[in-house]
C-alpha cells in the first residue's frame, strides 16, 4: 500500500490476468485516459498498465479480454522482430501487430539480446545438463572402501541395538520374559 492507502505495483495472488481487471482497463482506455491516469485510478504500476496499453494498441480489445496464454516464437520471428525495432527503428506496437506477438515483454527481451549479442543471441539454447552427461567417480582407495564398510557396519549395529531395545521395552510393558 502507498501513502494514500491504494495498492501499489502489480496485483498479486494470480489476479494479474483477472478478466474483471482487464475489463476495467479496457473501459478506461476506451474513455481516452492515458497510462498514468489509468495507473493512478486502478492503483497498478505504470509499467503494468503500459504493457496492457501496448497489447490493446497492437491487437485491440479482443486481446485484452481473451485469456492470456504462453506463446512460442520461432527463431526467424524473434530475429525479424528484433531487427525491425533495433535496426529499422519501427515502433513496438506495429512490430507486435506485424509478427503477431501478444506481449511487449518478450519483444523487449529480444531487442536487448540482439543489441548485446547479435542474431546468435536469439538462438534458444538448451538448459541444464547435457544428455548423456555422467559424472565419473574416481575409484575408491582401499582405505576409503574400508572406512565406508565400517560406517555401514556401525549403522547396522545401531539399528540392531534399537530393535533389541524395542523388544525389551515391549516385554517389560507386557510383563513377559524374553526367551
DSSP state of 14: S
From CA 179, how far away is CA 165, in angstroms rounded?
15
Are 22 and 28 in contact, with CB atoms under 8 Å apart? no
Are 107 and 92 in contact, with CB atoms under 8 Å apart? yes
- Residue 174 C-alpha cell reads as 507386557
Burial status of residue 55 (CB atoms within 10 A of its CB: 0-12, 13-18, 19 or more) = buried
Q: What is the pLDDT along the chain (179 residues), one digit of tens a residue?
A: 555 555 554 444 344 567 888 888 889 988 988 888 988 998 888 888 888 888 888 888 887 777 777 788 999 999 999 999 999 999 999 999 899 898 899 999 999 999 999 999 998 887 777 777 677 788 889 999 999 999 999 999 999 999 999 998 888 877 665 55
141 Cβ contact partners less than 8 Å away, ≥ 6 residues apart:
none
DSSP three-state, residue 42: helix
Report residue 22 CA to chain centroid gap.
22
pTM: 0.56
What residue has cell string 567417480? Answer: 137
Amino acid at each position: 500500500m502507498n501513502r494514500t492507502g491504494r495498492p501499489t505495483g502489480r496485483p498479486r495472488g494470480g489476479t494479474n490476468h483477472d478478466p474483471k481487471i482487464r475489463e476495467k482497463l479496457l473501459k478506461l482506455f476506451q474513455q481516452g485516459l492515458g497510462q498514468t491516469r489509468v495507473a493512478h485510478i486502478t492503483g497498478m504500476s505504470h509499467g503494468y498498465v503500459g504493457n496492457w496499453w501496448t497489447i490493446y494498441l497492437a491487437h485491440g480489445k479482443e486481446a485484452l479480454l481473451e485469456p492470456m496464454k504462453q506463446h512460442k516464437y520461432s527463431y526467424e520471428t524473434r530475429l525479424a522482430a528484433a531487427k525491425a525495432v533495433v535496426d529499422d527503428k519501427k515502433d513496438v506496437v506495429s512490430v507486435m501487430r506485424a509478427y503477431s506477438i501478444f506481449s511487449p515483454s518478450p519483444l523487449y527481451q529480444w531487442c536487448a539480446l540482439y543489441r548485446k549479442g547479435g542474431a546468435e543471441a536469439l538462438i534458444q539454447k538448451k538448459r541444464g545438463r547435457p544428455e548423456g552427461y555422467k559424472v565419473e567417480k574416481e575409484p575408491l582407495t582401499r582405505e576409503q572402501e574400508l572406512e565406508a564398510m565400517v560406517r555401514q557396519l556401525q549403522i547396522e549395529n545401531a539399528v540392531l541395538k534399537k530393535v533389541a531395545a524395542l523388544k525389551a521395552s515391549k516385554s517389560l510393558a507386557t510383563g513377559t520374559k524374553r526367551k
